[in-house]
Amino acid sequence: MIVRLLRQIFFRNPASVAYWLLAALAGRTLYYMLELHFMGQVGAPTGVWGIYYDDSYFAPVRNFIHEGSYTPDDRMPGLGIIYLPLALFFTPVKALNIFILAQVLVSALSVYVLAITARRAFNHNFFFYTVFYLYLISPFTAISDSSPASESFCTSLLIFSTYYFQKALDKNRIIFFFLSGTLLTWASFIRPAHFPLLIIFTVIGIVSLLKSKVKLLSYVFIYMAPFLITEGAWITRNYFRYHKFIPTLHSIYLASCKDTYRYPIWQLERAWGLEDWRIDWLTEKDNGNILKENVALPYVVYTSKYNADTMRAFKMFLNRATIRYAYKRGDETIYVDSVSNANRRIIEDRCRKYIHSLKQEKPFQYYILSRLHLITDYFKLSVFSNFEEPYMCTFGAITYYFTLFAGIAGIILMAGYCIRLERQSLFAFIPLYSVFIHPVIFRLAQNRYFVPSYPFLVVCAAYTLYLLYCKAITNKSIRSRKQQ
């Protein structure tokens, strides 16, 4: 009786859509409420039910409404499409609150969709239950639902795109290819680094469609049509505005940062294999100086052009050259550092020379070891760094690292799928692509960039658990036959 009741509660038929959606909504709402309870409204304007508000996504939309110009265009308009109707009919605070609640609702839907997608791809209910519960209880992605930024919606759209892609391969219906391409294009207009995923999806789709007698070119064209239309419109807009070819953005950095002394320092740090503003030789903002003078860099980054004494002098120069001022963002005080144009040119010149000397004298360190270090930083859990509740941090770390290691094992075990470019390989290729594009190509190692790829690592982890489950069942069957 109890076993039957537990099975009915925790292992109900995956087709019971309403039941699973309510369970997912309860889980995502719980995380949302816990985050607000423990963290309050850190970094958000007064009255906003969220944390770490990034106005660079929303200010261009308000400017578009009031002035007819999408500026500053440091971000692509993927989130702006969602925010625009809200900003038209509601006050800024109400618009952001509705935006955040929409993130929670869509995120809850994505939990169920991810589970049903995994079940469709691997044709076993084990994947539905494992993926649903493992993704639901993990706060790594859920924590982004309370922040009006790019992570939450981009993650959900990537999941929805994969769902329709798998469904399209099953049904061979053009509408599902079109929906998948539209959703992936939308996700890429939120996070431009995901545009090359269109190539991965397309190649896997072509390999799968070759096995069936369909009009291949028409399917590929329909899949790519949303990207071709929207990207073409965006390129045209940029050409008329800036008179040059800009397929995504001017830079991977915000213009407000790229035009300051911080940009060359970031380049130098990443050449060393250190994440920007996360190392000890550059401090945060509390002690009046932006630089610590008592912290040495790893000796492997030094060359004949600069050593510990050189960098100590560089730190002292930056301390003297930097002008600091502060402003309020919500209830938080933000400190901004600035230097004169002459000093900025000195900083740019020194950083350029240091990077050049590292390339010339220690190419293995620059091209290989630094990237390996960035990859390890990329996987290092940091999204809970400001979470004040230790139990949540501990639970989040346990679920994250369990999924990470089981997922990496799953990717290795799925090598056969990947070599044959089968539809299941998509779950492995998305996390692999994320590692390739962020820490390897762009040298960006912030852990939050991994959030959109994390759900697919959950599926890879489920694959590892599924093989262990199958092995356990096989061993149990063998022992039973021996006993007979």
Residue 408 falls within a domain, yes or no? Answer: no
Number of domains composing the chain: 1
What pTM, to 2 d.p., does this model score? 0.91
User: N- to C-terminal Cα distance for the chain?
Assistant: 29
User: Does the pLDDT value for residue 218 go beyond 90?
Assistant: no
30 domain residue, yes or no: no
Q: What is the band of 315 on the pLDDT scale with cuts at 50, 70, 90?
A: confident
pLDDT tens-digit series, residues 432-477: 999 999 999 999 888 999 999 999 999 999 999 999 999 888 776 6
Domain-embedded: residue 54: no
Q: Looking at the predicted structure, is the pLDDT value of residue 217 above 50?
A: yes
State which residues form the domain around 373: 255-379
350 lies in some domain: yes
Q: What's the pLDDT at 390? A: 67
Please report which confidence band the pLDDT of residue 68 belongs to, taking 50, 70 and 90 as the band edges.
confident
For range 34-57, the mean pLDDT: 76
The answer to whether residue 440 is domain-embedded is no
pLDDT category at 276 given cuts 50, 70, 90 is low
Average pLDDT over residues 120-140: 95
Please check whether residue 285 lies inside any domain of the structure.
yes
258 has a pLDDT exceeding 80 = no
How high is the pLDDT of residue 106? 97
Residue 448 lies in a domain: no
Contacts 24+ apart (CB under 8 A), 314-320: 314/350, 315/281, 315/291, 316/291, 317/346, 318/261, 318/290, 318/291, 318/347, 319/289, 319/290, 319/291, 319/293
Residue 256 Cα distances to 20, 72, 83, 87, 262, angstroms: 44, 10, 22, 24, 10
Mean pLDDT of 190-215: 89
Q: Please list the alpha-helical segments (H only) found in 326-483.
A: 341-361, 363-364, 370-379, 390-413, 415-420, 426-435, 454-483
DSSP 250-315: S-SS-HHHHTSTHHHHHHHHHHHT--TT-STTB--SSSS-SB-SS-PPPGGG-BTTB-HHHHHHHH
Q: Say what the pLDDT of residue 328 is.
A: 56
Highest mean pLDDT, choosing among 170-174, 294-298, 457-461: 457-461
Both tokens of 112, joined, read 């169920």
pLDDT tens figures, 373-409: 999 989 988 766 555 566 678 888 899 999 999 999 9
Mean pLDDT over 50-72 rounds to: 86
User: Who has greater pLDDT, 283 or 316?
Assistant: 316
Q: What is the mean pLDDT of residues 279-295?
A: 40
Give the model's pLDDT for residue 184.
97
Better pLDDT: 83 or 395: 83
Residue 335 included in any domain: yes
Q: Give the pLDDT confidence score for residue 113 in this predicted structure.
A: 98
pLDDT of residue 316: 80
